[in-house]
């Protein structure tokens, strides 16, 4: 108790020096708290942008991409080439066999120009791999819808014309448009290309004759909730609209997987598998395992998507990671150095006092403990002041409420790409804004106080070593 009382009395007797030492530590600690809060805010902002696109870092997407060489699709087996020809061979349309001249016709042909479909049994194989929490298959296709009036059969070249991808224009009395359609596994909606959380109006697909539309697509085509649309002659009731995040799913229409497989003559086949790992630590090993199990597959992880996010949000995050860490280090080193120098100066000015204590019987360790204890208390005071300064800096950031921009770029690919990293028809490039916050957590405050105490201990150790070298005789020669 005597030592504690003595320490407090000495600190009160030297208020100016005590406050100056504590303030030096406080400035360094304040920088740590403010930068730490800013970094946390940037992490949360980035997570907010990526949250609709990933399963918190545990999502993977598996596809079988078609790589095009100078002679067409490359790296495909004979069976795969035949399958590709079977599925996409009907993408060109002749006009002779559509019906009687003057009659109305409507056709839907399904193509997938850059993704090879594969047996749905691959989903079950991946589901059995170690580290897989869940897996679901999906089928994304482009539906080429042709509708109009069968022209009269004449010798004009246009009536014998074929049109489709790469086939030029179409007759004026025939309308052709393309729309992307994704078949989803309704039993595993949490990792489907469109999830229930993305529904902004209506509800999720619950039956084979229901469809969810991309909100942007519905607005462009003036389609209302409760309307009906036709796909390959089948009528679907529009039961919901979904808003797609940037970089996320971009198909126009979402229907039941089995239904789309039948309509497109791809029964039992999918071209995307969404996979959720048991933990983020399993992702890398799981991706390698999938590639080994599924020959020719391409695995895209949530991190691949995160790497495509750019803009002021990412710039600020990178700046904080690099410059922020440097500021923290410089601030702490400066604070510790100031505290140590002030402690040394204090010990030098107390030569007579400390030497007298030794002369009356204080052991060396007691003198060192006295100096170190005083520095520790200064560290605690500096930590408290630093917390106040840091919270004030974080509050200033919150008051300014800066807005940052995040942009997701189109993924680079060879040739046209119809399926994006997480099953979507095409990756949605675009930008979004997010408000920056600077939350101060209890863990951050505890770290700040701990650093302040460490600074006090270091300065106390420096001062203690100086005090330990004092001799009682010095007290008689020194005039304070």
Predicted confidence at residue 57, as pLDDT, reads: 55
Kindly state whether residue 263 falls inside one of the protein's structural domains.
yes
Highest mean pLDDT among 15-24, 193-202, 309-318: 193-202
Token output for 248: 């996320």
CB atoms within 10 A of CB 170: 17
Q: Is residue 415 a part of any domain in this protein?
A: no
- Tell me how far CA of residue 95 lies from CA of 149, 174, 207, 398, in angstroms: 10, 10, 35, 65
Residue numbers of the domain that contains 370: 2-54+312-401+436-477
User: Tokens representing 59?
Assistant: 């999502």
Q: Is residue 141 over pLDDT 80? A: yes
Please tell me whether residues 168 and 247 are part of one structural domain.
yes
Residue 406 covered by a domain:
no
- Judged against a pLDDT cut of 50, whether residue 49 lies above it is answered with yes
Asked whether residue 438 carries a pLDDT value surpassing 50, the answer given is yes
State how far the Cα of 213 lies from the Cα of 208, in Å rounded to an integer: 15
Find residue 182's DSSP bridge partners: 140, 254
Please tell me the predicted confidence (pLDDT) of residue 470: 60
Q: How large is the average pLDDT for residues 449-474?
A: 71
72 pairs with which residues across the strands? 69
Q: Are residues 130 and 194 located together in one domain of the fold?
A: yes
Asked whether the beta carbons of 53 and 422 are under 8 A apart, the reply is: yes
Residue 261 falls within a domain, yes or no?
A: yes
Residue 204 has a pLDDT of: 96
Helix 15-50 vs helix 442-468: crossing angle, to nearest 10: 150
Tell me if 304 is assigned to some domain. Answer: no
Two tokens, residue 152: 């009269």
Residue 117 makes CB contacts below 8 A (sequence gap 6+) with 64, 83, 87, 139, 266, 269, 270, 271
Which of 228, 263, 296 delimits the end of a domain? 296
- Please give the average per-residue pLDDT across 194-205, as a whole number: 92
Task: Kindly state whether residues 122 and 38 are assigned to the same domain.
Answer: no
Percent of the chain with pLDDT over 90: 22
How do residues 268-300 score in pLDDT, each as one tens digit? 999 999 999 888 888 889 999 999 989 888 888
In a domain, 18, yes or no: yes
Note whether 360 and 273 are same-domain residues.
no
Confidence at residue 10, expressed as pLDDT on a 0 to 100 scale: 67
**Cβ(423)–Cβ(182) below 8 Å:** yes
Residues 218 and 350 both lie in one domain: no
Query: What pLDDT, on a 0 to 100 scale, did the predictor assign at position 275?
Result: 92
Show Cβ contacts of residue 148 under 8 Å, excluding neighbours closer than 6 positions: 104, 105, 171, 173, 174, 175
- What mean pLDDT is predicted for residues 202-225? 94
- pLDDT (tens digit per residue) in 379-425: 888 888 888 998 998 888 888 877 766 665 544 443 333 334 333 33
Amino acid 227: pLDDT: 95
For residue 87, CA distances in Å to 98, 113, 205 come to 20, 10, 26
Q: Across residues 30-58, what is the average pLDDT?
A: 70
> In whole angstroms, what is the distance from residue 219 CA to residue 214 CA?
9
Evaluate whether residue 420 is within a structural domain: no
Judge if 46 and 106 occupy the same domain.
Answer: no
Higher pLDDT, 395 or 166: 395
Q: Which of 261, 296, 331 is at the close of a domain?
A: 296
- Domain membership flag for residue 153: yes
Q: Which one of 296, 330, 355 terminates a domain?
A: 296
3-state secondary structure of 377: helix
Q: Tell me how many domains the chain contains.
A: 2
Candidates 119, 282, 276, 271; CA nearest to 195 is: 276
Of the candidates 119, 61, 2, 40, the one whose C-alpha atom is nearest the C-alpha of residue 397 is: 40
Q: Tokens 């089928």 sit at which residue? A: 139
The predicted model gives 167-181 an average pLDDT of: 69
By the 8 A CB rule, do 32 and 326 touch?
no
Token pair in block for residue 120? 């749905």
pLDDT for 96 beyond 70: no
Which DSSP symbol is given to 438? -
- Residues 236, 379: one domain? no
Residues 26, 229: Cα–Cα separation, whole Å: 66
Listed in sequence order, the DSSP H helices in 63-221 are 78-88, 121-127, 215-220
Specify whether 236 is located in the same domain as 327.
Answer: no
pLDDT of residue 183 exceeding 90, the answer is yes
- Are 378 and 336 contacting, i.e. CB atoms less than 8 angstroms apart? no
DSSP 3-state of 355: helix
pLDDT greater at residue 376 or residue 466? 376
In this prediction, residue 431 carries a pLDDT of 57
**Domain check: are 48 and 141 in the same one?**
no
Residue 43 shares a structural domain with residue 10: yes
One domain for residues 50 and 73: no
Same domain, 24 and 70: no
């Amino acid at each position: 108790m005597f030592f504690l009382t003595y320490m407090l009395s000495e600190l009160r007797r030297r208020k100016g020096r005590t406050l100056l030492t504590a303030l030096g530590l406080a400035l360094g600690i304040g920088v740590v708290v403010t930068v730490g809060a800013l970094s946390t805010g940037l992490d949360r902002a980035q997570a907010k942008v990526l949250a609709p696109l990933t399963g918190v870092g545990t999502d993977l997407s598996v596809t079988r991409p078609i790589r095009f060489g100078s002679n067409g699709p490359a790296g495909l087996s004979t069976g795969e080439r035949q399958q590709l020809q079977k599925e996409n061979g009907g993408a060109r349309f002749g006009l002779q066999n559509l019906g009687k001249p003057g009659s109305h016709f409507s056709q839907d042909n399904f193509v997938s120009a850059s993704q090879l479909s594969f047996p749905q049994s691959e989903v079950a194989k991946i589901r059995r791999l170690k580290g897989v929490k869940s897996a679901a298959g999906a089928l994304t296709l482009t539906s080429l819808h042709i509708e109009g009036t069968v022209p009269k059969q004449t010798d004009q070249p246009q009536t014998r014309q074929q049109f489709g991808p790469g086939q030029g224009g179409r007759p004026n009395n025939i309308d052709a448009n393309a729309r992307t359609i994704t078949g989803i596994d309704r039993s595993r909606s949490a990792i489907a290309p469109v999830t229930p959380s993305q529904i902004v109006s209506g509800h999720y697909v619950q039956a084979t004759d229901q469809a969810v539309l991309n909100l942007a697509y519905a607005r462009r085509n003036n389609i209302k909730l409760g309307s009906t649309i036709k796909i390959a002659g089948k009528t679907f009731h529009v039961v919901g609209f979904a808003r797609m995040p940037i970089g996320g799913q971009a198909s126009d229409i979402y229907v039941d997987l089995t239904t789309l497989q039948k309509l497109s003559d791809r029964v039992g086949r999918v071209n995307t598998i969404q996979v959720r790992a048991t933990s983020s630590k399993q992702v890398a090993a799981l991706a390698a395992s999938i590639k080994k199990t599924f020959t020719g597959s391409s695995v895209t992880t949530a991190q691949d998507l995160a790497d495509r996010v750019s803009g002021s949000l990412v710039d600020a995050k990178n700046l904080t990671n690099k410059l922020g860490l440097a500021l923290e280090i410089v601030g702490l080193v400066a604070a510790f150095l100031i505290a140590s120098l002030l402690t040394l100066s204090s010990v030098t000015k107390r030569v007579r006092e400390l030497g007298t204590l030794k002369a009356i019987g204080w052991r060396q360790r007691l003198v060192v403990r006295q100096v170190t204890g005083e520095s520790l208390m200064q560290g605690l005071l500096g930590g408290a002041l630093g917390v106040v300064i840091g919270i004030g800096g974080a509050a200033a950031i919150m008051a300014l409420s800066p807005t940052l921009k995040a942009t997701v770029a189109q993924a680079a690919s060879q040739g046209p790409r119809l399926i994006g990293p997480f099953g979507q028809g095409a990756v949605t490039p675009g930008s979004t804004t997010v408000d920056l916050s600077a939350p101060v957590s209890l863990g951050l405050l505890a770290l700040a106080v701990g650093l302040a105490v460490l600074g006090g201990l270091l300065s106390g150790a420096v001062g203690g070593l100086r005090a330990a070298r004092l001799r009682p005789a010095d007290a008689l020669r020194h005039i304070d």
